[in-house]
């Protein structure tokens, strides 16, 4: 076989793998969803879950209530948040041209949480006398603005002349995170009991507060992001070579960057507002996919959304069942697995971190 034939065959292989990969990931999402609906403090057998979802009334009313009002919104929120976090991780890594970027790690989630906290406390103090309690949809919008400011600020600080410094990015992320933490702490000090409960919710990410209201607030924000990200795939692939090189290849670099930052801010803002700060999904999921299917963003972006959704829903099922009827905050689980994974990533990098 000639070398040329090997080259052609190589890409053909990569291309043929994409539908298979997507099918496997979709299957994972379905399995994780089924498991999530059926298991918990009260077990509901799969056949009964299906009858309940089909709207038949033959199932016991208690089971129907649990599945439709408790587990289904929680499942949908978990799918949305998992997909949003993994997808924004992949987007940020493409934008920063570095596999270590993650919205949780570099302070974007913290910035979003801070803005949400300000929305609660300041909103109560300034706006409530005039318009009554803020609707829940104000939170994702506040969190989006916080996420946008942090992502943009991070990009400005870490990128000089088209080159992004990974060290500056991580350190600036630490600074942003600490600053947000301090201000959230200060707000907690000022706030009343109810506000305090809302605030502490963000530092421990959890899907336990899932309601249909939250699903309704998150869907119109996260779904468009998931549908739009594949359009950035070619631009992000070219951007991996560097900003100048991407421009040479005809990519509208500034537009790609601006859109990627907006999408990350929307997805992270909506996730944080609905489920608090859940770390490491954005770094683990794209990395696992790169190891199995390569770094092509045309596969990576939709693949991350699917695997992120499956992973977060599974983690949530574990969080709900290991200590049932009590439950672990899911942020503890993702950090317990994600942090060692991140360390492993750092250790196996060849040549260390370029400053």
Partner 1 sequence: MSAILEAWNIAYRAGGRMLIEGIDLSVERGTVTIIVGPNGAGKSTLLRVLCGELAPATGEVLLNGAPLHRIPAWRLAHTRAVMPQASELGFPFSAFEVAHLGVEGIGRGLSRGDRQRIAASALDQADVAHLARRNYQTLSGGERQRVHFARVLAQLEAGRTVETRQVLFLDEPIASLDLRHQLALLNKAKCLAREGLTIIAVLHDLQLAADIADSLVLVQAGRLVARGNAGTVLSPGRLLDVFGVSLIPPSLPPSPWTLASSN
Residues contacting residue 60 through CB under 8 Å, at least 6 positions apart: none
Token code pair at residue 154? 């991070």
Token code pair at residue 312? 């977060």
Binds partner 1 (CB under 8 A): choice among 75, 76, 81, 93: 93
Residues in binding contact with partner 1, number by CB under 8 A = 38
90: phi > 0 → left, psi -120 to 50 → alpha, else beta; which?
alpha
Q: Could you tell me the CA-to-CA distances from 183 to 75, 138, 205, 265, 328 in Å, in that order?
A: 32, 20, 18, 20, 26
What is the maximal distance between C-alpha atoms in the chain? 77
CB atoms under 10 Å from CB of 12, counted, come to: 10
Q: Which is nearer to partner 1, 71 or 97 (CB)?
A: 97
Give the shortest CB-63-to-partner 1 separation in angstroms.
Answer: 47
Q: Which is nearer to partner 1, 36 or 169 (CB)?
A: 169
Tell me the window of 24-32, 105-113, 123-131, 246-254 that interacts with partner 1 (CB under 8 A). 246-254
Give the residue carrying structure tokens 């949530």: 316
Q: Which is nearer to partner 1, 86 or 315 (CB)?
A: 86
Q: Which is nearer to partner 1, 33 or 98 (CB)?
A: 98
Token code pair at residue 116? 């949400």
Report if residue 22 touches partner 1, rule: CB under 8 A: no
Binding mask 249-288 for partner 1 (x = CB under 8 A): xxxxx-----------------------------------
Return d(Cα 79, Cα 219) in angstroms, integer: 10
Binds partner 1 (CB under 8 A): choice among 36, 141, 221, 238: 238
Q: Which is nearer to partner 1, 325 or 351 (CB)?
A: 351
Binding mask 292-331 for partner 1 (x = CB under 8 A): --xxx-----------------------------------
Report if residue 248 touches partner 1, rule: CB under 8 A: yes
Token code pair at residue 330? 């899911």
Report if residue 220 touches partner 1, rule: CB under 8 A: no
Q: Which residues bind partner 1 (CB under 8 A)?
A: 2-8, 10-12, 14-15, 93, 96-99, 234, 237-238, 240-242, 244-245, 247-253, 290, 294-296, 350, 354
């Amino acid at each position: 076989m000639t070398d040329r034939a090997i080259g052609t065959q190589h890409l053909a292989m990569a291309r043929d793998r994409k539908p298979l990969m997507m099918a496997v990931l979709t299957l994972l999402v379905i399995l994780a969803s089924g498991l999530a609906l059926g298991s918990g403090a009260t077990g509901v057998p799969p056949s009964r879950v299906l009858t309940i979802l089909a709207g038949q009334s033959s199932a016991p009313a208690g089971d129907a209530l649990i599945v439709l009002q408790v587990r289904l919104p929680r499942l949908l929120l978990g799918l949305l948040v998992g997909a949003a976090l993994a997808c924004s991780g992949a987007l940020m890594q493409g934008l920063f041209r570095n596999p270590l970027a993650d919205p949780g790690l570099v302070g974007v989630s913290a910035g979003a949480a801070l803005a949400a906290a300000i929305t609660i406390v300041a909103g109560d103090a300034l706006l409530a006398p005039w318009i009554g309690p803020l609707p829940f949809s104000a939170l994702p919008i506040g969190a989006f603005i916080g996420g946008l400011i942090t992502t943009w600020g991070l990009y400005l600080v870490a990128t000089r002349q088209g080159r992004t410094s990974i060290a500056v990015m991580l350190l600036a992320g630490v600074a942003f995170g600490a600053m947000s933490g301090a201000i959230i702490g200060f707000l907690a000090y000022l706030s009343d009991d109810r506000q305090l409960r809302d605030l502490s919710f963000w530092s421990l990410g959890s899907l336990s507060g899932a309601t249909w209201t939250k699903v309704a607030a998150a869907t119109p924000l996260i779904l468009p992001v998931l549908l739009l990200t594949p359009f950035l795939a070619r631009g992000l692939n070219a951007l991996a070579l560097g900003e100048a090189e991407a421009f040479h290849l005809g990519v509208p670099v500034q537009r790609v960057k601006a859109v990627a930052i907006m999408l990350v801010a929307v997805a992270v803002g909506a996730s944080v507002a609905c489920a608090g700060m859940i770390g490491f999904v954005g770094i683990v999921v794209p990395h696992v996919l790169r190891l199995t299917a390569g770094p092509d963003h045309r596969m990576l972006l939709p693949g991350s959304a699917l695997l992120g959704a499956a992973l977060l829903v599974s983690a949530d099922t574990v969080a709900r069942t290991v200590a049932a009827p009590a439950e672990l905050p899911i942020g503890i689980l993702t950090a317990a697995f994600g942090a060692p994974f991140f360390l492993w990533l750092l250790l196996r990098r060849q040549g260390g971190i370029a400053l």
